[in-house]
Amino acid sequence: MIHALAPRTVVLLLVPVLVLLLAMFAYPLGLVLWTSLHDATGQWSFEAYARLSSSTLFYRVLLNTLEISGWSTLASLVLGYVIALHLARLPPARRTLYLVMVMLPFWTSILVKSFAFSIVLGEQGLINRGLVAAFGEAARSELIFNRTGVVLGMTNFLLPFVVLPVLASLLAQNQSLYRVAQIMGAGPLRVFWSITLPLSLPGAMAGALMALTLSTGMYITPALLGGRKEMMMANLVDFYTRQTLDWAMASAIAILLLLMSAVLIALMLKARGQEGVTV
């Protein structure tokens, strides 16, 4: 028989976790917030936020971040849903094998993957060599140091975060619904639109939430695969900390990026809740 823990025991068990969160998250975040709200003399000041509000560079980078994150999330959602749908229809043994292949990006450093993409997508990379061999020199394409390379690299990184929740949602569906629909004369396409897709929307929304939140803070992939015009918010933070040494501006951008992620999460959770009620 399982007995409930006493409140005092629960608190004692949570103390190490709370201390770790305070040391590793709350304190650094508070320091960043404090830096963004003080000038070089240590006085309270909103100068950093005022400069951001009139900065053309900031708005351009913000637009880049939203566009690249949106395209990467959309590509990850479409490809991830197709992959998850295929995995859900496989026998358990084969599904496990293919799921390991999906999980491989988790076990590889994003830095290593970005360098690998620079080799694959480069001017003399594998894709361009194949295109030239098949269609001639005119088929050579610029796939790196532009938005295409950034979106491809980020999609590769984000795919597992979409596949796993969508797959869990698909596997949790009641198979009796499919048999009933087929008995009633529904074809595969009708079954998908009427049953599979609506019931898998919570998993798809969860995957899109994770992909969108992660993509807005990406740094390494845009830095290695993108050009100067594809700078994102995290790269702008790096610019102000390493090149201009303007820590107040960098901290203000970091706080705004955090708030933007929080707003995106709130909007996605609200949409997911409404979708769940509709279904």
Report the mean per-residue pLDDT for the chain: 85
What's the farthest any 2 CA atoms get from each other in the chain? Answer: 76
pLDDT at 194 over 50: yes
In a domain, 187, yes or no: yes
Q: What is the mean pLDDT of residues 91-103?
A: 87
| Residues paired with 86 in a beta bridge | none
In a domain, 225, yes or no: yes
In a domain, 18, yes or no: no
In a domain, 33, yes or no: no
**CATH code of the domain covering residue 108:** 1.10.3720.10
Q: What is the mean pLDDT of residues 190-215?
A: 87
Contact call for residues 272 and 206 (beta carbons, < 8 A): yes
- End-to-end CA separation in angstroms for the chain: 38
Whole-angstrom distance, CA of residue 14 vs CA of residue 225: 42
Digit-coded pLDDT (tens) for 124-159: 888 888 888 888 888 888 888 889 999 999 999 999
Digit-coded pLDDT (tens) for 232-244: 999 999 999 888 8
In a domain, 44, yes or no: no
Looking at 29-38, 88-97, 266-275, which range is the least confident one? Answer: 266-275
Contact call for residues 159 and 76 (beta carbons, < 8 A): yes
Contact call for residues 247 and 35 (beta carbons, < 8 A): yes
Its domain, for residue 97, covers 57-278
Looking at 1-10, 37-46, 114-123, which range is the least confident one? Answer: 1-10
> Which residues does 71 contact at the CB level (< 8 Å), separation at least 6?
147, 151
Domain count, the chain: 1
| Residues paired with 44 in a beta bridge | 38
Q: What is the mean pLDDT of residues 57-63?
A: 93
In a domain, 147, yes or no: yes
pLDDT for 173 equals 85
